[in-house]
Amino acid sequence: MVSIDPVTFAALVGTWVLVVGTLGFAYWQLRQTQRLHSASTVLDLRERFFGPRMQEARRELSTWLLRTDRGEEVDNWEVGIFFELLGSLTREGVLERRMVWEAFGTWVTAYYVFSREPVNLFERWRQESRDPLIFANFEWLAQQCQELDRRATHGAIPPRAATEDARDVLSGEARLAPAPRPA
């Protein structure tokens, strides 16, 4: 049996502690960088969401979704496409789910509820196009937001209240001021 003197043993253990500590710190540092990147991206996306072009799209879509007799479908689905991108980035772990929920959850849920009532537009488009992935990430994100809502309220959100809340949100969206026209 090989015998190791106490100084060599202490140096060996110290080296391993240093290696493990360094790896732990590097992991922590990477995680913090990811969180900061996610937060920065969410803030950039919020700026885009509140920009004039998106506000116009939100006003147009919410007005149409709230109609009892919707008539011809709107052409501008930029809001839905935005939520689809947001869902994709969140699902892939680029954005943190809880940050996205805090920043956009109210709107994601409201547009989702009225995209499914009185007609489930997602299902209709999927059947018409034979593409099961149309707005799949938007739908996933909405379900994640609803789950986080349930957790935050300890399950105290009755289904009818969610629809009423969504109507209130979209009514506010429909009253957004039109974007100023360039002179």
- Torsion angle in degrees (nearest 10) through CA of 33, 149, 81, 96: 10
What does the pLDDT look like over 102-123, one tens digit per residue? 999 999 999 999 999 888 899 9
What does the pLDDT look like over 109-162, one tens digit per residue? 999 999 998 888 999 999 999 999 999 999 999 999 999 988 888 766 665 567
pTM summary value:
0.79
The predicted structure's pLDDT at residue 89: 95
Interaxial angle between packed helices 97-116 and 78-91, expressed in degrees from 0 to 180 and rounded to the nearest 10: 140
